[in-house]
Amino acid sequence: MPSPKIHPRQALFDSDEVAPLLPVCDHYAGVEVRMRKSLALQAEKGPVFDVTLDCEDGAPIGGEVEHAHLVAELAMSDANRFGRVGARVHPVDHPAFERELDTLIGRAGSRLAYLMVPKPRHFADVKRACDEIDHFVRVHPGARHLPIHFLIETHGALRDVDSIAAHPRVESLSFGLMDFVSAHRGAIPSQGMSAKGQFTHPLVLRAKLEIAAACHAHRKTPSHCVVTEFSDQRAIQEAATKASSELGYTRMWSIHPNQIEPIVDAFAPTAAEVDLAMEIITQAQAADWAPIRHRDTLHDRASFRYFWHVLERAQRTGQALPASVREAFFE
């Protein structure tokens, strides 16, 4: 009787090596009409992108708690079809921070996919935010153990980025381009915030690389920053391709619905890559994950891991996979 086939996640990774599998696009919306349209678009296209409902930039001054109630209502509604809706709150030192957490976790803690916390100034802010979130999770029955994302956009957070990425409550780190450039008091020209300039200025590029490296070292998801030229499809496509293929990012922000599809396309593997990955992973599994020869090339566990990640990206970006592959690996 043949032995049962071992799944790649069991055969190729230790339990502490498995990273979270997040959609490759994180779409932000803060105004009510845009939040509702974003949820409708997600329902149409499927969970190939997350929707982050924005309390920081979406709430009017003085109306932060009311806006948090609206975000919680949307997260709990049928519009949150796939459970892939998160929320961005205010920074830890903002007067509304704790009231937002109380509202969001108390009213929607069972349905939110994550919370995004912007502008930590250092590791201590990250620890405080995590402790506050966990406090409200404990006091509100039914709230889930919410994953926490942070936005790295200050000098202190970049200095502490390895410690931040190592925190066990952190799931993903994003780069906050605009505030990071502004924090340099004019030393980085405005071109450093553009679609092209953000990939050429050394200080900006250094920040991106340090965030990506820290995330991969601690098996967290690095999320690339915005492209503000949202009507320029070529600009977003080029930026997403560079972020994915050159800087090691596995996720990227969208700030306009027109940006979602180019980001998903750029982060998806090519058809040829997927075909090769299916062949190698299927052959390796049949060999009980011993080294194999494929097209006159030797493959072992190291390359098996690489090609398994290709298949995972294909699945996360909604690519059509053969039924046999879906059944064997993703169902």
C-alpha separations of 181 from 155, 175, 247, 306 in Å: 10, 11, 18, 34
Q: Is 326 annotated as a binding residue?
A: no
Q: Count CB atoms within 10 A of the CB of residue 79.
A: 17
Q: Is 327 annotated as a binding residue?
A: no
Q: Is 179 annotated as a binding residue?
A: yes
Measured between alpha carbons, how far is 166 from 136 in angstroms, rounded to an integer?
A: 22
* Contact between residue 316 and residue 21 where contact means Cβ atoms under 8 Å apart: yes
CB-count exposure of residue 259 (10 Å: 0-12, 13-18, 19+): buried
The angle subtended at Cα 254 by Cα 248 and Cα 259, nearest 5°, is 100
| Helix runs in the chain, H state only | 8-12, 32-45, 64-76, 97-108, 123-139, 155-159, 161-166, 177-182, 202-217, 233-245, 257-267, 271-286, 301-316, 323-329
- Residue 62: partners with Cβ closer than 8 Å, 6 or more residues away: none
- Residues of each annotated binding site: 88, 153, 179
Please report, in range form, the residues annotated as the binding site for substrate: 88, 153
Numbered residues of the known binding site for Mg(2+): 153, 179
